[in-house]
């Protein structure tokens, strides 16, 4: 019972941090692409980046290569909490159900466990997500030296403790969607591929790649909304003449984005999302499985 309690949490946290370091620049480009094009005024509605590669090149050219990793420490802190709780909770609940209720692989049980784990972990880790987004976007306003402590002080001073939970609803919903798609698909593919590849790195690679595609398609619209909600305090600072809340909430952000930019605005940053989720999941699941087999 001791193994059931702590090992999935430790493995999940370590594997999440390793995957975050390996894919963070792509995440930075995704965040930049998701916030551009908002109809705030004519100047700032213009698209600064043409795509993922153009975004990465411009960040390096205009802000320096270090800006690709701006926000990495709150991101790692996020994974140390979010990844630990998410994967630990999912596998702990799932294993408990298999042991005491039904030993067979059950899609409904897997999805339910994933939704609970995803929403719970994302809600707890939301402050680190807010700090990560603010630091990733800071370079667009010329502030390339923003530290984690400075960012925290700025949010807390001007927005209070509630500012750290800005966008928590779409964040929890996005995490629930990702977990509900990603984890059950991975487990399903892994079990179906075992007769061909066994419980090997090849199996883990293919299964994680398939899971990444599904989660990217399902989660990007909610990811766009939560990124914009988390970042709107910084938009207020950069424009100066905007009200404290550009968006009143999740529904309002959906409506304004659709009305002003159309349906495809919800898939801004999809390519870097897919390119990040693929390597992230591959690194995560292979690391997780190797830790699991090693110990």
pLDDT in tens, 183-225: 899 999 999 999 999 999 999 999 999 999 989 999 999 999 9
List the one residue out of 248, 271, 234, 216 whose CA is nearest residue 141. Answer: 234
CATH number of the structural domain spanning residue 31: 1.50.40.10
- CA-to-CA distance for 211 and 182, rounded, in angstroms? 5
The pLDDT, as a whole number, for residue 25 is 94
- CA-to-CA distance for 124 and 185, rounded, in angstroms? 25
Mean pLDDT estimate for the chain: 86
Tokens for 143, please give them: 């502030």
Q: How confident is the model at residue 5 (pLDDT cuts 50, 70, 90)?
A: low
Share of the chain above pLDDT 90, in %: 46
Q: Which residues contact 185 (CB under 8 A, 6 or more apart)?
A: 207, 210, 211, 214, 215
Give the domain extent around 241: 2-294
pLDDT in tens, 110-146: 899 999 999 999 999 999 999 999 998 887 777 777 8
The pLDDT, as a whole number, for residue 1 is 41
The pLDDT, as a whole number, for residue 11 is 87
Q: Check residue 23 and give left, alpha or beta (phi > 0: left; psi -120 to 50: alpha).
A: alpha
Q: How confident is the model at residue 238 (pLDDT cuts 50, 70, 90)?
A: very low
- CA-to-CA distance for 172 and 168, rounded, in angstroms? 6
Q: Which residues contact 177 (CB under 8 A, 6 or more apart)?
A: 118, 215, 218, 219, 222
Instruction: Tell me the average pLDDT across 59-63.
Output: 93
- CA-to-CA distance for 233 and 137, rounded, in angstroms? 11
Q: Report the domain count for the chain.
A: 1
| Buried b / exposed e along 240-263 (16+ C-beta atoms within 10 A) | eeeeeebbeebeebbebbeeebee
Q: pTM to 2 decimals?
A: 0.75
Model confidence at 263: pLDDT above 90: yes
Q: Which of 55 and 242 is assigned the larger pLDDT?
A: 55
Q: Which of 246 and 132 is assigned the larger pLDDT?
A: 132
The pLDDT, as a whole number, for residue 75 is 92
């Amino acid at each position: 019972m001791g193994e059931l309690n702590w090992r999935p949490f430790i493995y999940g946290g370590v594997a999440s941090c390793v995957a975050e370091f390996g894919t963070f620049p792509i995440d930075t480009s995704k965040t930049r692409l998701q916030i551009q094009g908002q109809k705030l005024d004519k100047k700032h509605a213009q698209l600064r980046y043409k795509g993922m590669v153009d975004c990465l090149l411009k960040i390096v050219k205009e802000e320096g290569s270090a800006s690709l990793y701006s926000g990495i420490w709150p991101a790692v802190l996020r994974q140390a909490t979010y990844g630990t709780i998410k994967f630990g909770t999912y596998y702990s609940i799932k294993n408990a159900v298999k042991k005491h209720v039904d030993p067979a692989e059950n899609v409904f049980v897997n999805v339910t466990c994933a939704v609970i784990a995803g929403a719970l972990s994302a809600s707890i880790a939301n402050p680190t997500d807010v700090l990560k987004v603010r630091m990733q976007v800071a370079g667009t306003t010329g502030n390339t030296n923003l530290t984690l402590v400075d960012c925290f002080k700025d949010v807390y001073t001007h927005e209070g403790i509630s500012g750290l939970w800005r966008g928590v609803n779409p964040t929890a919903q996005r995490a629930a969607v990702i977990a509900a798609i990603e984890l059950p698909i991975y487990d399903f593919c892994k079990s179906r591929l075992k007769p061909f590849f066994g419980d090997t790195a090849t199996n883990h690679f293919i299964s994680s790649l398939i899971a990444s595609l599904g989660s990217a398609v399902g989660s990007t619209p909610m990811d766009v909304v939560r990124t914009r909600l988390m970042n709107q305090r910084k938009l207020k600072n950069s424009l100066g003449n905007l009200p404290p809340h550009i968006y009143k909430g999740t529904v309002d952000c959906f409506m304004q984005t659709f009305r002003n930019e159309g349906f495809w605005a919800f898939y801004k940053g999809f390519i870097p999302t897919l390119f990040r989720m693929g390597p992230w999941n591959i690194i995560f699941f292979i690391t997780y499985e190797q830790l699991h087999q090693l110990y």
